Homo-oligomer: A and B are copies of this chain.
């Protein structure tokens, strides 16, 4: 049983932010019907690719974020296609989309229109700068990279004093996707108590600004414009990544007693006695002298050797795992965070699992990512009561697929 069993979501989403939101909801038990245009979700064309039995290239990108969903194909340029969407909405709890703000309006599916179809619908939009935005912003195209750059997150990520770097995953899309789920679940609670639906108007830039954390306070309270700090903590030393002989390791040495142990672990007890490095404020002040000494020493052994030493001394540390290590990690396997998805015509595909470890209703992967239009027939027959003949005719007319 899933916590969100019984919730019906019409998913007019593409690529990443909104598909991520509906994936989370589907993992938790919601019924998600993904409505794709005849050419399919754009991300079906995104690599990495995996070959199916028929020798066709299937998108691993699409597969990894669309499990547990149904797919139907609707041509919303046709009036009859719009009529079917209206019928689907009238039976749904939630609609999610991430087109530009004007797109749904042009199609005749603004929130105002949707309310006429179903009074208490919860309509969640995700876009770059918000539906309710200043005019010159509302029409701007949204890419993850734009959100990362515009929000300030990129300006604080990267090597110290160096170029700003994008977070290696599309965190602008993904954060907004998570926030959309929180907004939707909150709105569902409000609906259940009051009978009222609402518009959940999420923005990718808002989403990242809300997670800048102490960077905003550092500027507004101390006047400092924060820049990137590489792998290091702004004020605690040594709380950063170091290069080992073969890779990297982080050593968050958060207090002076850990510092003493750390020096012993490095077999450099003389450092613990060095007046320049006795307390954290001193280590921060004399960082430029200290870090090269530590860096030189840590480079002498492999990551695995240091792990063993730091474990023995009870120090906090972590290897900077590359993705191959993550996929093979024992605890992540135990936590079902790396799972085999059985994909028809392809076989087992490894994807990230659900992080929602709820003791009674855990997030679960129950079915594969759908082929384009895989559920057109079953959904239109089951939910809308269409006949085989009607479906056949609409297919021949290019209204559904």
Q: Give bound CA distance, A330 to B213, whole Å.
A: 20
| A323-B216 contact, Cβ under 8 Å, with A179-B356, A355-B209, A360-B190 | yes
Residues of B within 8 A of A350 (CB): 216, 220
List which A15-70 residues lie within 8 A (CB) of chain B: 16, 24, 28, 46-50, 60-61, 63-65
Is the CB of A163 closer than 8 A to any CB of chain B? yes
Do B189 and A189 have beta carbons less than 8 Å apart? yes
Copies of this subunit: 2
- Determine the distance from Cα of A200 to Cα of B240 in the docked complex, in whole angstroms: 31
- CB-defined contacts of A316 to chain B, threshold 8 Å: 140-141, 143, 146
Question: A153 contacts which chain B residues (CB < 8 A)?
Answer: 167-169
In the complex, whether A237 has a CB less than 8 A from a CB of chain B is no
Q: Which residues of chain B come closer than 8 Å to A198, judged between CB atoms?
A: 358-361
Contact A355 B206 (CB under 8 A): yes
Q: Give 1 or 0 for each of A149-180: 1 = CB within 8 Å of chain B CB.
A: 11111111111001111111111001100110
Measured between beta carbons, the chain B residues less than 8 angstroms from A207 are: 355
Kindly state the separation between the CA atoms of A201 and B130 in the bound complex, as whole angstroms.
32
Instruction: Give CA–CA (A256, B152) in the complex, Å.
Output: 28
Assess whether A248 is interfacial by the CB under 8 Å rule: yes
B168 & A206 in contact (Cβ 8 Å cutoff): no
Kindly supply a per-residue 1/0 record for chain A positions 273-302, scoring 1 wherever the CB is within 8 Å of any chain B CB and 0 otherwise. 000000000000000000000000000000
* A216 CB, nearest partner CB in chain B, Å: 5
Please tell me if the beta carbons of B171 and A178 are within 8 angstroms of each other in the complex.
no
Q: Given the interface contacts A145-B250, A186-B3, does A163 sit within 8 Å of B241 by beta carbon?
A: yes
- Let me know if A231 is at the binding interface, CB within 8 A: yes
Assembly CA distance A101 to B290 (angstroms): 34
Contact of A189 among B3, B154, B162, B171 (CB under 8 A): B3
Give the distance in Å from the alpha carbon of A351 to the alpha carbon of B211 in the complex: 11
In the complex, A72 has a CB within 8 A of chain B: no
Could you tell me if B321 and A152 are in contact, using CB atoms closer than 8 angstroms?
A: yes
Binary interface encoding of chain A residues 220-242 relative to chain B, with 1 for a CB under 8 A from any of its CBs, else 0: 11101111111111010001110
User: Inside 8 A of A181's CB, which chain B residues have their CB?
Assistant: 182
A164 contacts across to B, CB distance below 8 A: 231, 241, 248, 320
Quick one: which of B4, B16, B140, B334 contacts A133, CB cutoff 8 A? B334
Please indicate the chain B residues that have their CB under 8 angstroms from the CB of A313 in the complex.
none
Q: Are A252 and B182 in touch, CB under 8 angstroms?
A: no
In the complex, are the beta carbons of A174 and B321 less than 8 A apart?
no
Q: In the complex the two chains form, what is the Cα distance from A350 to B134 in whole Å? A: 21
**In the complex the two chains form, is B334's CB within 8 Å of A134's CB?**
yes
At the interface, yes or no: A322 with Cβ under 8 Å from chain B? yes
CA distance A190 to B5 in the complex (A): 9
Q: Tell me, yes or no, whether A215 is within 8 Å of chain B by CB.
A: yes
Contact B210 A355 (CB under 8 A): yes
Nearest CB in chain B: distance from A316 CB, A: 5
> Nearest-CB distance from A24 to chain B (Å)?
6
- Is A400 close to B, CB under 8 A? no
Instruction: Tell me, rounded to whole Å, the shortest Cβ–Cβ distance linking A311 to chain B.
Output: 9
Contact call B186/A355, Cβ cutoff below 8 A:
no
Q: Given A156-B168, A189-B185, A248-B163, decide whether A241 and B149 contact each other with a Cβ distance below 8 A.
A: yes
Q: 8 extra interchain contacts, Cβ-Cβ under 8 A, other than A145-B239, A198-B358?
A: A28-B186, A133-B331, A145-B318, A150-B326, A157-B165, A182-B356, A200-B357, A212-B323
Ranked 9 nearest A-B pairs via Cβ? A156-B168, A3-B186, A220-B350, A60-B217, A185-B185, A198-B360, A152-B326, A169-B213, A206-B355
